[in-house]
Chain A
Amino acid sequence: MITLKGIKKTYENKAGRFEAIKEVNLTIDKGEIFGFVGYSGAGKSTLLRLTNGLELPSEGTVELGDKVLSELDKKAIRKERQSIGMIFQHFNLLWSRTVLENVMFPLEIANVTKSERLRKAKELIQLVGLAGKENSYPAQLSGGEKQRVGIARALANDPKVLLSDEATSALDPQTTDEVLELLEKINRELNVTIILITHEMEVVRKICNRVAVMDSGVIVEEGSVLDVFKHPKHPVTQRFVKQDREMDTKETKEALKELQSLYPDGDIVQLLFQGGSVNVPIITQVSRETGVDINIIQGSIQSTHEVPMGTLVVQLLGTKEKRRSALDLFKTYPIEVEVLGHDE
Protein backbone atom coordinates (compact mmCIF):
# COMPACT_ATOMS: atom_id res chain seq x y z
CA MET A 1 0.00 0.00 0.00
CA ILE A 2 2.63 2.51 1.13
CA THR A 3 6.25 1.70 0.48
CA LEU A 4 9.18 3.78 1.62
CA LYS A 5 12.37 2.80 -0.17
CA GLY A 6 15.79 4.08 0.82
CA ILE A 7 14.36 7.29 2.21
CA LYS A 8 16.78 9.98 3.27
CA LYS A 9 15.90 13.52 4.18
CA THR A 10 18.49 16.17 4.78
CA TYR A 11 17.81 19.79 5.59
CA GLU A 12 20.38 22.35 4.66
CA ASN A 13 20.49 25.92 5.81
CA LYS A 14 23.02 28.47 6.88
CA ALA A 15 23.48 26.74 10.21
CA GLY A 16 24.53 23.54 8.47
CA ARG A 17 23.19 20.16 7.44
CA PHE A 18 20.68 18.23 9.42
CA GLU A 19 19.84 14.63 8.64
CA ALA A 20 16.24 14.23 9.73
CA ILE A 21 15.91 10.78 8.15
CA LYS A 22 19.07 8.76 7.66
CA GLU A 23 17.75 5.63 6.00
CA VAL A 24 14.27 4.22 6.13
CA ASN A 25 12.82 1.23 4.30
CA LEU A 26 9.32 0.22 5.20
CA THR A 27 6.07 -1.14 3.83
CA ILE A 28 2.74 -0.35 5.40
CA ASP A 29 -0.10 -2.64 4.43
CA LYS A 30 -3.60 -1.71 3.43
CA GLY A 31 -6.03 -1.57 6.32
CA GLU A 32 -3.54 -1.69 9.15
CA ILE A 33 -2.91 0.79 11.93
CA PHE A 34 0.78 1.52 11.91
CA GLY A 35 2.48 3.50 14.64
CA PHE A 36 5.73 5.39 14.65
CA VAL A 37 6.99 6.05 18.13
CA GLY A 38 9.99 8.08 19.14
CA TYR A 39 11.15 11.08 21.09
CA SER A 40 10.90 14.51 19.54
CA GLY A 41 13.53 15.00 16.89
CA ALA A 42 13.60 11.32 16.02
CA GLY A 43 12.34 12.09 12.52
CA LYS A 44 8.86 10.63 12.79
CA SER A 45 7.13 13.89 11.98
CA THR A 46 9.24 14.30 8.84
CA LEU A 47 8.50 10.72 7.85
CA LEU A 48 4.76 11.32 8.18
CA ARG A 49 4.97 14.39 5.96
CA LEU A 50 6.91 12.44 3.37
CA THR A 51 3.97 10.09 2.93
CA ASN A 52 1.66 12.87 1.73
CA GLY A 53 4.25 14.88 -0.11
CA LEU A 54 4.29 17.83 2.25
CA GLU A 55 7.99 17.01 2.32
CA LEU A 56 9.89 15.39 -0.50
CA PRO A 57 12.71 12.94 0.22
CA SER A 58 16.30 13.93 -0.52
CA GLU A 59 16.86 10.36 -1.64
CA GLY A 60 14.63 7.34 -2.11
CA THR A 61 11.02 6.95 -3.18
CA VAL A 62 7.60 7.03 -1.57
CA GLU A 63 5.09 4.78 -3.29
CA LEU A 64 1.38 5.14 -2.71
CA GLY A 65 -0.31 2.14 -4.27
CA ASP A 66 1.09 2.11 -7.79
CA LYS A 67 2.10 5.78 -7.84
CA VAL A 68 5.54 7.07 -7.01
CA LEU A 69 4.96 10.31 -5.16
CA SER A 70 8.32 11.89 -5.87
CA GLU A 71 7.83 11.43 -9.61
CA LEU A 72 4.58 13.38 -9.71
CA ASP A 73 4.39 17.10 -10.41
CA LYS A 74 3.11 19.52 -7.81
CA LYS A 75 -0.42 19.53 -9.14
CA ALA A 76 -0.62 15.74 -9.18
CA ILE A 77 0.76 15.55 -5.65
CA ARG A 78 -1.93 17.98 -4.49
CA LYS A 79 -4.54 15.79 -6.16
CA GLU A 80 -3.07 12.76 -4.45
CA ARG A 81 -3.23 14.46 -1.06
CA GLN A 82 -6.99 14.66 -1.38
CA SER A 83 -7.08 10.92 -0.79
CA ILE A 84 -4.88 11.18 2.30
CA GLY A 85 -6.49 12.65 5.40
CA MET A 86 -4.43 14.19 8.14
CA ILE A 87 -5.14 15.06 11.76
CA PHE A 88 -2.97 17.15 14.05
CA GLN A 89 -1.95 17.55 17.66
CA HIS A 90 -3.41 21.05 17.82
CA PHE A 91 -6.36 20.18 15.58
CA ASN A 92 -5.62 23.02 13.15
CA LEU A 93 -9.23 23.93 12.56
CA LEU A 94 -10.18 27.26 11.00
CA TRP A 95 -11.56 29.37 13.83
CA SER A 96 -13.47 31.45 11.29
CA ARG A 97 -15.55 28.47 10.18
CA THR A 98 -18.25 26.51 11.94
CA VAL A 99 -17.90 22.77 12.52
CA LEU A 100 -19.93 22.11 9.38
CA GLU A 101 -17.89 24.55 7.29
CA ASN A 102 -14.63 23.10 8.60
CA VAL A 103 -15.67 19.62 7.52
CA MET A 104 -16.75 20.97 4.14
CA PHE A 105 -13.39 22.66 3.61
CA PRO A 106 -11.53 19.75 1.96
CA LEU A 107 -14.60 19.10 -0.19
CA GLU A 108 -14.38 22.66 -1.49
CA ILE A 109 -10.74 22.04 -2.37
CA ALA A 110 -11.82 18.89 -4.22
CA ASN A 111 -14.49 20.88 -6.12
CA VAL A 112 -17.43 18.89 -4.78
CA THR A 113 -20.86 20.45 -5.41
CA LYS A 114 -22.48 22.40 -2.60
CA SER A 115 -25.34 19.97 -1.96
CA GLU A 116 -22.99 17.00 -1.94
CA ARG A 117 -20.62 18.87 0.42
CA LEU A 118 -23.45 19.45 2.86
CA ARG A 119 -24.66 15.87 2.70
CA LYS A 120 -21.19 14.41 3.19
CA ALA A 121 -20.24 16.80 6.00
CA LYS A 122 -23.44 16.11 7.93
CA GLU A 123 -22.93 12.38 7.56
CA LEU A 124 -19.36 12.63 8.90
CA ILE A 125 -20.35 14.86 11.79
CA GLN A 126 -22.85 12.17 12.69
CA LEU A 127 -20.16 9.49 12.40
CA VAL A 128 -17.76 11.23 14.79
CA GLY A 129 -20.55 11.85 17.29
CA LEU A 130 -20.92 15.60 16.98
CA ALA A 131 -24.50 15.80 15.72
CA GLY A 132 -26.08 19.02 16.97
CA LYS A 133 -22.79 20.91 16.99
CA GLU A 134 -22.77 21.67 13.26
CA ASN A 135 -23.09 25.40 13.72
CA SER A 136 -20.72 25.79 16.67
CA TYR A 137 -17.37 27.46 16.19
CA PRO A 138 -14.17 25.64 17.20
CA ALA A 139 -13.66 28.09 20.08
CA GLN A 140 -16.86 26.76 21.64
CA LEU A 141 -15.70 23.13 21.61
CA SER A 142 -13.62 21.04 24.00
CA GLY A 143 -10.31 19.52 22.91
CA GLY A 144 -11.86 16.13 22.28
CA GLU A 145 -14.64 17.64 20.21
CA LYS A 146 -12.15 19.66 18.19
CA GLN A 147 -10.23 16.52 17.36
CA ARG A 148 -13.47 14.85 16.30
CA VAL A 149 -14.03 17.73 13.90
CA GLY A 150 -10.44 17.24 12.72
CA ILE A 151 -11.15 13.56 12.10
CA ALA A 152 -14.40 14.27 10.27
CA ARG A 153 -12.58 16.82 8.13
CA ALA A 154 -9.78 14.35 7.38
CA LEU A 155 -12.34 11.78 6.24
CA ALA A 156 -14.28 14.13 3.99
CA ASN A 157 -12.75 13.02 0.71
CA ASP A 158 -13.02 9.30 1.55
CA PRO A 159 -9.29 8.88 2.02
CA LYS A 160 -7.50 5.56 1.72
CA VAL A 161 -5.00 6.66 4.33
CA LEU A 162 -5.32 8.71 7.49
CA LEU A 163 -2.19 10.33 8.92
CA SER A 164 -2.25 11.19 12.58
CA ASP A 165 0.35 13.62 13.88
CA GLU A 166 0.34 13.25 17.68
CA ALA A 167 -3.45 13.52 17.52
CA THR A 168 -4.01 12.66 21.17
CA SER A 169 -0.98 14.36 22.72
CA ALA A 170 -2.91 17.48 23.69
CA LEU A 171 -5.81 15.55 25.20
CA ASP A 172 -6.48 14.19 28.67
CA PRO A 173 -6.40 10.38 29.22
CA GLN A 174 -10.17 9.94 29.09
CA THR A 175 -10.52 11.94 25.86
CA THR A 176 -7.47 10.18 24.40
CA ASP A 177 -9.25 6.84 24.87
CA GLU A 178 -12.38 8.17 23.18
CA VAL A 179 -10.47 9.51 20.22
CA LEU A 180 -8.49 6.26 19.91
CA GLU A 181 -11.73 4.29 19.93
CA LEU A 182 -13.04 6.51 17.18
CA LEU A 183 -9.89 5.93 15.11
CA GLU A 184 -10.21 2.20 15.62
CA LYS A 185 -13.83 2.34 14.51
CA ILE A 186 -12.88 4.26 11.39
CA ASN A 187 -10.17 1.75 10.59
CA ARG A 188 -12.62 -1.12 11.06
CA GLU A 189 -15.72 0.28 9.41
CA LEU A 190 -14.28 2.38 6.62
CA ASN A 191 -11.18 0.23 6.11
CA VAL A 192 -8.93 3.28 6.24
CA THR A 193 -5.23 2.63 6.71
CA ILE A 194 -4.02 4.68 9.65
CA ILE A 195 -0.45 5.83 10.12
CA LEU A 196 0.15 7.59 13.38
CA ILE A 197 3.09 9.11 15.11
CA THR A 198 3.23 9.54 18.84
CA HIS A 199 5.56 9.71 21.78
CA GLU A 200 3.08 7.85 23.93
CA MET A 201 3.58 4.10 23.88
CA GLU A 202 0.11 3.75 25.36
CA VAL A 203 -1.41 4.93 22.07
CA VAL A 204 0.57 2.35 20.13
CA ARG A 205 -0.40 -0.38 22.55
CA LYS A 206 -4.07 0.46 22.40
CA ILE A 207 -4.72 0.65 18.69
CA CYS A 208 -1.73 -0.23 16.53
CA ASN A 209 -1.14 -3.50 14.72
CA ARG A 210 2.47 -2.75 13.97
CA VAL A 211 4.96 -0.30 15.34
CA ALA A 212 8.27 1.18 14.29
CA VAL A 213 10.45 2.76 16.94
CA MET A 214 12.49 5.67 15.66
CA ASP A 215 15.62 7.22 17.02
CA SER A 216 17.83 9.85 15.38
CA GLY A 217 16.44 9.36 11.90
CA VAL A 218 16.44 5.58 11.74
CA ILE A 219 13.99 2.84 12.62
CA VAL A 220 15.67 0.99 15.46
CA GLU A 221 12.99 -1.62 15.94
CA GLU A 222 9.94 -2.68 14.03
CA GLY A 223 7.37 -5.42 14.39
CA SER A 224 3.94 -6.39 15.65
CA VAL A 225 2.92 -4.41 18.69
CA LEU A 226 2.63 -7.52 20.82
CA ASP A 227 6.14 -8.72 19.99
CA VAL A 228 7.67 -5.34 20.57
CA PHE A 229 5.91 -5.00 23.91
CA LYS A 230 6.86 -8.46 25.05
CA HIS A 231 10.44 -8.46 23.88
CA PRO A 232 11.65 -4.91 23.41
CA LYS A 233 15.21 -5.22 22.08
CA HIS A 234 16.55 -1.74 21.49
CA PRO A 235 17.23 0.42 24.58
CA VAL A 236 14.95 3.16 23.27
CA THR A 237 12.10 0.69 22.85
CA GLN A 238 12.74 -0.69 26.28
CA ARG A 239 12.50 2.77 27.71
CA PHE A 240 9.19 3.40 25.96
CA VAL A 241 7.71 0.09 27.04
CA LYS A 242 8.87 0.64 30.57
CA GLN A 243 7.40 4.13 30.62
CA ASP A 244 4.07 2.73 29.55
CA ARG A 245 4.07 0.27 32.43
CA GLU A 246 5.31 2.84 34.87
CA MET A 247 1.86 4.32 35.20
CA ASP A 248 1.00 1.30 37.28
CA THR A 249 4.40 0.82 38.88
CA LYS A 250 4.30 4.03 40.85
CA GLU A 251 1.66 2.60 43.10
CA THR A 252 3.38 -0.76 42.99
CA LYS A 253 6.55 0.76 44.37
CA GLU A 254 4.69 2.08 47.37
CA ALA A 255 3.13 -1.31 47.99
CA LEU A 256 6.48 -2.92 47.37
CA LYS A 257 8.15 -0.92 50.09
CA GLU A 258 5.42 -1.70 52.52
CA LEU A 259 5.48 -5.40 51.81
CA GLN A 260 9.24 -5.55 51.92
CA SER A 261 9.17 -4.17 55.42
CA LEU A 262 6.36 -6.52 56.40
CA TYR A 263 7.92 -9.64 54.85
CA PRO A 264 11.65 -9.09 54.91
CA ASP A 265 12.46 -12.41 53.28
CA GLY A 266 10.22 -12.24 50.23
CA ASP A 267 10.92 -11.95 46.53
CA ILE A 268 8.80 -9.48 44.60
CA VAL A 269 8.15 -10.84 41.14
CA GLN A 270 6.30 -9.44 38.16
CA LEU A 271 4.54 -11.87 35.85
CA LEU A 272 3.48 -10.76 32.41
CA PHE A 273 0.71 -12.72 30.72
CA GLN A 274 -0.35 -12.57 27.14
CA GLY A 275 -4.10 -13.04 27.00
CA GLY A 276 -5.28 -16.54 26.21
CA SER A 277 -1.83 -18.08 26.22
CA VAL A 278 -2.06 -19.56 29.67
CA ASN A 279 -4.60 -22.21 30.46
CA VAL A 280 -2.96 -23.43 33.62
CA PRO A 281 -3.60 -22.23 37.16
CA ILE A 282 0.01 -21.12 37.44
CA ILE A 283 -0.05 -19.52 40.85
CA THR A 284 -1.66 -22.48 42.57
CA GLN A 285 0.55 -24.97 40.78
CA VAL A 286 3.79 -23.21 41.61
CA SER A 287 2.73 -22.75 45.18
CA ARG A 288 1.73 -26.40 45.52
CA GLU A 289 4.77 -27.87 43.82
CA THR A 290 7.46 -25.76 45.46
CA GLY A 291 5.84 -25.02 48.77
CA VAL A 292 6.24 -21.24 48.60
CA ASP A 293 3.47 -18.95 49.70
CA ILE A 294 2.38 -16.53 47.05
CA ASN A 295 0.99 -13.16 47.98
CA ILE A 296 -0.65 -11.18 45.21
CA ILE A 297 0.28 -7.50 45.45
CA GLN A 298 -1.20 -6.07 42.31
CA GLY A 299 -2.75 -7.08 39.06
CA SER A 300 -3.60 -5.08 35.96
CA ILE A 301 -4.69 -5.62 32.42
CA GLN A 302 -3.42 -3.53 29.53
CA SER A 303 -5.43 -3.85 26.38
CA THR A 304 -3.70 -3.99 23.04
CA HIS A 305 -5.29 -3.87 19.63
CA GLU A 306 -5.46 -7.69 19.45
CA VAL A 307 -5.29 -9.31 22.87
CA PRO A 308 -5.12 -8.12 26.44
CA MET A 309 -1.86 -8.35 28.37
CA GLY A 310 -2.03 -9.02 32.08
CA THR A 311 0.52 -7.99 34.64
CA LEU A 312 0.61 -9.61 38.04
CA VAL A 313 2.95 -8.56 40.81
CA VAL A 314 3.36 -11.23 43.48
CA GLN A 315 5.46 -11.85 46.53
CA LEU A 316 7.11 -15.22 47.03
CA LEU A 317 7.54 -16.30 50.61
CA GLY A 318 9.66 -19.17 51.79
CA THR A 319 13.26 -20.34 52.02
CA LYS A 320 15.75 -19.16 49.47
CA GLU A 321 15.90 -22.58 47.76
CA LYS A 322 12.16 -22.87 47.54
CA ARG A 323 11.88 -19.40 46.09
CA ARG A 324 14.53 -20.17 43.50
CA SER A 325 12.76 -23.30 42.33
CA ALA A 326 9.50 -21.38 42.23
CA LEU A 327 11.09 -18.80 39.96
CA ASP A 328 12.50 -21.53 37.73
CA LEU A 329 9.10 -23.15 37.54
CA PHE A 330 7.44 -19.85 36.60
CA LYS A 331 9.89 -19.51 33.76
CA THR A 332 8.76 -22.81 32.23
CA TYR A 333 5.35 -21.29 31.49
CA PRO A 334 4.74 -19.03 28.47
CA ILE A 335 4.90 -15.89 30.55
CA GLU A 336 7.45 -13.19 31.18
CA VAL A 337 9.00 -13.22 34.63
CA GLU A 338 10.84 -10.30 36.14
CA VAL A 339 12.18 -10.06 39.67
CA LEU A 340 11.48 -6.57 40.94
CA GLY A 341 12.99 -6.84 44.40
CA HIS A 342 14.81 -9.30 46.63
CA ASP A 343 15.33 -9.20 50.27
CA GLU A 344 18.57 -10.75 51.26
Chain B
Amino acid sequence: MTNNLPLIANIFLEYFDFASISWDRVWEATEQTLYMTVVSVVAVFFLGILLGLLLYETRNSESVWASILYKVVAFLVNVFRSIPFIILIVLLIPFTKALVGSMTGPTAGLPALILSAAPFYGRLVEAGLREVDKGVIEAAEAMGANKWEVIRKVYIPESLPNIIAGITVTGISLVGYTAMAGVIGAGGLGNLAFLEGFQRSRPNVTLVSTVIILLIVFVIQFIGDTWVSKIDKR
Protein backbone atom coordinates (compact mmCIF):
# COMPACT_ATOMS: atom_id res chain seq x y z
CA MET B 1 0.00 0.00 0.00
CA THR B 2 2.62 2.52 1.05
CA ASN B 3 4.50 1.85 -2.16
CA ASN B 4 1.48 2.80 -4.18
CA LEU B 5 1.08 6.25 -2.68
CA PRO B 6 3.84 7.94 -4.66
CA LEU B 7 2.38 6.39 -7.79
CA ILE B 8 -1.05 7.91 -7.16
CA ALA B 9 0.60 11.21 -6.34
CA ASN B 10 2.44 11.04 -9.62
CA ILE B 11 -0.75 10.42 -11.54
CA PHE B 12 -2.29 13.39 -9.81
CA LEU B 13 0.68 15.50 -10.71
CA GLU B 14 0.43 14.45 -14.32
CA TYR B 15 -3.21 15.53 -14.44
CA PHE B 16 -2.80 18.81 -12.61
CA ASP B 17 0.47 19.97 -14.06
CA PHE B 18 -1.08 23.06 -15.62
CA ALA B 19 2.17 24.99 -15.82
CA SER B 20 3.50 22.93 -18.73
CA ILE B 21 0.39 23.39 -20.85
CA SER B 22 0.77 25.71 -23.80
CA TRP B 23 -2.33 27.78 -23.25
CA ASP B 24 -2.09 29.41 -26.63
CA ARG B 25 -2.84 26.08 -28.23
CA VAL B 26 -5.69 25.47 -25.78
CA TRP B 27 -7.32 28.81 -26.68
CA GLU B 28 -6.85 28.16 -30.35
CA ALA B 29 -8.47 24.75 -29.97
CA THR B 30 -11.31 26.26 -27.93
CA GLU B 31 -11.94 28.84 -30.59
CA GLN B 32 -12.05 26.13 -33.24
CA THR B 33 -14.49 24.07 -31.22
CA LEU B 34 -16.69 27.12 -30.62
CA TYR B 35 -16.54 28.00 -34.30
CA MET B 36 -17.60 24.51 -35.37
CA THR B 37 -20.32 24.36 -32.73
CA VAL B 38 -21.81 27.77 -33.42
CA VAL B 39 -21.78 27.51 -37.20
CA SER B 40 -23.18 23.99 -37.22
CA VAL B 41 -25.84 24.81 -34.61
CA VAL B 42 -27.04 27.79 -36.64
CA ALA B 43 -27.07 25.80 -39.88
CA VAL B 44 -28.74 22.80 -38.23
CA PHE B 45 -31.34 25.09 -36.64
CA PHE B 46 -32.57 26.44 -39.96
CA LEU B 47 -32.12 23.23 -41.92
CA GLY B 48 -33.80 21.22 -39.19
CA ILE B 49 -36.82 23.52 -39.05
CA LEU B 50 -37.17 23.28 -42.82
CA LEU B 51 -36.83 19.49 -42.67
CA GLY B 52 -39.25 19.28 -39.77
CA LEU B 53 -41.83 21.38 -41.62
CA LEU B 54 -41.32 19.33 -44.77
CA LEU B 55 -41.74 16.06 -42.88
CA TYR B 56 -44.76 17.34 -40.99
CA GLU B 57 -46.52 18.82 -44.00
CA THR B 58 -45.99 15.85 -46.28
CA ARG B 59 -46.60 13.19 -43.69
CA ASN B 60 -50.35 12.81 -44.01
CA SER B 61 -50.93 14.69 -47.20
CA GLU B 62 -53.43 13.32 -49.67
CA SER B 63 -51.30 14.29 -52.66
CA VAL B 64 -49.30 11.45 -54.18
CA TRP B 65 -46.24 13.65 -54.77
CA ALA B 66 -46.23 14.79 -51.17
CA SER B 67 -46.30 11.25 -49.87
CA ILE B 68 -43.49 10.24 -52.23
CA LEU B 69 -41.51 13.27 -51.06
CA TYR B 70 -42.20 12.29 -47.49
CA LYS B 71 -40.96 8.76 -48.02
CA VAL B 72 -37.77 9.96 -49.71
CA VAL B 73 -37.01 12.58 -47.07
CA ALA B 74 -37.90 10.26 -44.22
CA PHE B 75 -35.62 7.58 -45.67
CA LEU B 76 -32.68 9.98 -46.04
CA VAL B 77 -33.27 11.34 -42.56
CA ASN B 78 -33.26 7.87 -41.08
CA VAL B 79 -30.13 6.90 -42.98
CA PHE B 80 -28.11 9.96 -41.98
CA ARG B 81 -29.34 9.73 -38.42
CA SER B 82 -28.23 6.13 -38.20
CA ILE B 83 -24.71 6.36 -39.62
CA PRO B 84 -22.21 6.52 -36.75
CA PHE B 85 -20.68 9.98 -36.86
CA ILE B 86 -17.09 8.88 -37.09
CA ILE B 87 -17.94 6.79 -40.17
CA LEU B 88 -19.96 9.59 -41.70
CA ILE B 89 -16.96 11.92 -41.60
CA VAL B 90 -14.81 9.42 -43.40
CA LEU B 91 -17.58 8.64 -45.83
CA LEU B 92 -17.95 12.32 -46.65
CA ILE B 93 -14.26 13.06 -47.18
CA PRO B 94 -14.44 13.32 -51.01
CA PHE B 95 -17.57 15.44 -50.73
CA THR B 96 -15.96 17.68 -48.10
CA LYS B 97 -12.83 18.06 -50.21
CA ALA B 98 -14.86 19.17 -53.18
CA LEU B 99 -16.94 21.55 -51.08
CA VAL B 100 -14.37 23.08 -48.74
CA GLY B 101 -11.18 22.38 -50.69
CA SER B 102 -9.53 20.67 -47.76
CA MET B 103 -10.17 17.72 -45.51
CA THR B 104 -8.61 19.21 -42.40
CA GLY B 105 -9.38 22.27 -40.31
CA PRO B 106 -12.59 23.35 -38.56
CA THR B 107 -14.47 24.27 -41.73
CA ALA B 108 -13.86 20.78 -43.10
CA GLY B 109 -15.66 19.39 -40.08
CA LEU B 110 -18.83 21.35 -40.83
CA PRO B 111 -20.42 19.28 -43.64
CA ALA B 112 -20.39 16.10 -41.60
CA LEU B 113 -21.54 17.88 -38.45
CA ILE B 114 -24.47 19.52 -40.21
CA LEU B 115 -25.44 16.49 -42.23
CA SER B 116 -25.58 14.24 -39.21
CA ALA B 117 -27.34 16.63 -36.83
CA ALA B 118 -29.88 18.26 -39.17
CA PRO B 119 -31.92 15.06 -39.73
CA PHE B 120 -31.93 14.36 -36.01
CA TYR B 121 -33.08 17.88 -35.24
CA GLY B 122 -35.57 17.75 -38.11
CA ARG B 123 -37.28 14.82 -36.41
CA LEU B 124 -37.37 16.72 -33.12
CA VAL B 125 -38.96 19.71 -34.87
CA GLU B 126 -41.50 17.45 -36.56
CA ALA B 127 -42.44 15.94 -33.19
CA GLY B 128 -42.78 19.45 -31.77
CA LEU B 129 -45.04 20.56 -34.62
CA ARG B 130 -47.24 17.54 -34.12
CA GLU B 131 -47.85 18.67 -30.55
CA VAL B 132 -49.41 21.95 -31.65
CA ASP B 133 -53.11 21.98 -30.80
CA LYS B 134 -55.11 21.10 -33.92
CA GLY B 135 -57.92 23.32 -32.66
CA VAL B 136 -55.68 26.37 -32.80
CA ILE B 137 -54.74 25.50 -36.39
CA GLU B 138 -58.42 25.24 -37.22
CA ALA B 139 -59.08 28.59 -35.56
CA ALA B 140 -56.39 30.22 -37.69
CA GLU B 141 -57.80 28.63 -40.83
CA ALA B 142 -61.27 29.80 -39.86
CA MET B 143 -59.88 33.34 -39.74
CA GLY B 144 -58.73 32.99 -43.32
CA ALA B 145 -55.04 32.41 -42.69
CA ASN B 146 -53.15 30.78 -45.56
CA LYS B 147 -50.66 27.96 -45.17
CA TRP B 148 -47.66 30.24 -44.79
CA GLU B 149 -49.42 32.40 -42.18
CA VAL B 150 -50.42 29.30 -40.27
CA ILE B 151 -46.79 28.12 -40.25
CA ARG B 152 -45.32 31.49 -39.35
CA LYS B 153 -47.93 32.65 -36.85
CA VAL B 154 -49.14 29.41 -35.30
CA TYR B 155 -46.90 26.40 -35.84
CA ILE B 156 -43.58 28.10 -35.12
CA PRO B 157 -44.54 30.25 -32.11
CA GLU B 158 -46.74 27.52 -30.59
CA SER B 159 -43.98 24.91 -30.81
CA LEU B 160 -41.11 27.26 -30.00
CA PRO B 161 -40.33 25.75 -26.57
CA ASN B 162 -39.93 22.36 -28.26
CA ILE B 163 -37.88 23.88 -31.06
CA ILE B 164 -35.54 25.57 -28.58
CA ALA B 165 -35.29 22.55 -26.29
CA GLY B 166 -34.53 20.47 -29.38
CA ILE B 167 -31.72 22.71 -30.59
CA THR B 168 -30.26 22.69 -27.07
CA VAL B 169 -30.04 18.90 -27.07
CA THR B 170 -28.75 18.90 -30.64
CA GLY B 171 -26.20 21.61 -29.81
CA ILE B 172 -24.86 19.54 -26.94
CA SER B 173 -24.45 16.47 -29.07
CA LEU B 174 -22.81 18.65 -31.71
CA VAL B 175 -20.15 19.63 -29.17
CA GLY B 176 -19.48 15.94 -28.74
CA TYR B 177 -19.35 15.46 -32.51
CA THR B 178 -16.84 18.31 -32.89
CA ALA B 179 -14.53 16.39 -30.58
CA MET B 180 -14.85 13.34 -32.80
CA ALA B 181 -14.33 15.44 -35.89
CA GLY B 182 -11.22 16.78 -34.20
CA VAL B 183 -9.68 13.35 -34.06
CA ILE B 184 -10.01 13.07 -37.83
CA GLY B 185 -8.31 16.41 -38.29
CA ALA B 186 -10.88 19.14 -37.93
CA GLY B 187 -8.99 20.74 -35.06
CA GLY B 188 -10.54 21.92 -31.84
CA LEU B 189 -10.45 20.52 -28.33
CA GLY B 190 -11.02 16.94 -29.48
CA ASN B 191 -8.00 17.23 -31.71
CA LEU B 192 -5.96 18.69 -28.86
CA ALA B 193 -6.97 15.97 -26.43
CA PHE B 194 -6.19 13.30 -29.00
CA LEU B 195 -2.90 14.59 -30.38
CA GLU B 196 -1.42 16.16 -27.25
CA GLY B 197 -3.19 14.31 -24.51
CA PHE B 198 -3.36 10.81 -25.90
CA GLN B 199 -0.54 10.46 -28.41
CA ARG B 200 1.97 12.36 -26.28
CA SER B 201 0.60 10.97 -23.01
CA ARG B 202 -0.16 14.30 -21.40
CA PRO B 203 -3.27 13.76 -19.29
CA ASN B 204 -3.12 17.37 -18.09
CA VAL B 205 -4.02 18.52 -21.62
CA THR B 206 -6.80 15.95 -21.81
CA LEU B 207 -8.19 17.15 -18.49
CA VAL B 208 -8.16 20.80 -19.56
CA SER B 209 -9.86 19.92 -22.84
CA THR B 210 -12.51 17.95 -20.98
CA VAL B 211 -13.21 20.78 -18.55
CA ILE B 212 -13.56 23.32 -21.35
CA ILE B 213 -15.90 21.04 -23.31
CA LEU B 214 -17.98 20.51 -20.17
CA LEU B 215 -18.16 24.28 -19.67
CA ILE B 216 -19.35 24.76 -23.24
CA VAL B 217 -22.01 22.09 -22.74
CA PHE B 218 -23.18 23.62 -19.46
CA VAL B 219 -23.42 27.06 -21.01
CA ILE B 220 -25.49 25.71 -23.93
CA GLN B 221 -27.77 23.84 -21.52
CA PHE B 222 -28.19 26.92 -19.35
CA ILE B 223 -28.98 29.21 -22.28
CA GLY B 224 -31.47 26.66 -23.67
CA ASP B 225 -33.25 26.06 -20.37
CA THR B 226 -33.49 29.76 -19.54
CA TRP B 227 -34.82 30.58 -22.98
CA VAL B 228 -37.44 27.82 -22.86
CA SER B 229 -38.73 28.81 -19.44
CA LYS B 230 -38.89 32.43 -20.53
CA ILE B 231 -41.04 31.80 -23.60
CA ASP B 232 -43.19 28.94 -22.31
CA LYS B 233 -46.46 30.54 -21.18
CA ARG B 234 -48.49 27.34 -21.11
Contacts and interface: CB of A to CB of B under 8 A. Distances in A.
Interface of A: 52, 54, 75, 78-82, 84, 86, 88, 90, 92-97, 105-106, 108-110, 137-139, 153, 157, 163
B154 A86 contact: no
Given A88-B135, A108-B153, A137-B233, A94 B142 contact: no
Interface of B: 133, 135-136, 138-146, 149, 153-154, 157-158, 160, 231, 233-234
B142 A95 contact: no
Contact of A92 (B138, B157, B231): B138
Given A105-B143, A157-B143, 11 more contacts: A78-B144, A80-B144, A81-B142, A82-B143, A82-B144, A86-B139, A88-B139, A90-B135, A94-B158, A106-B144, A139-B233
Contacts of A96: 157-158, 160, 231, 233
Contacts of B157: 94, 96-97
Given A88-B135, A96-B233, A139-B233, A110 B153 contact: no
Contact of B145 (A78, A137, A138): A78
Contacts of A54: 138, 141-142
A90 to B, nearest CB: 5
Contacts of B143: 81-82, 86, 105-106, 109, 157
Contacts of B138: 54, 88, 92
B144 A79 contact: yes
Nearest to B133: A92
Contacts of B139: 86, 88, 92-93, 153
Contacts of B160: 96
Nearest to A140: B233
Specify the main secondary structure of chain A where it touches its partner: mixed
A94 B234 contact: no
Nearest to A90: B135
Contacts of A94: 136, 154, 157-158
12 contacts: A52-B142, A78-B145, A78-B146, A80-B144, A82-B144, A86-B142, A90-B135, A92-B139, A94-B157, A96-B231, A105-B143, A109-B140
Given A88-B135, A93-B136, A81 B233 contact: no
Nearest to A107: B143
Given A86-B139, A139-B233, A109 B144 contact: yes
Nearest to B159: A96
Contacts of A81: 141-144
Contacts of B133: 90, 92
B233 to A, nearest CB: 4
**Closest 7 A/B residue pairs (Cβ):** A81-B144, A92-B135, A92-B139, A78-B144, A106-B143, A86-B142, A137-B233
Given A54-B141, A82-B144, A92 B233 contact: no
Contacts of B140: 105, 109
Nearest to B156: A96
A78 B143 CA distance: 8
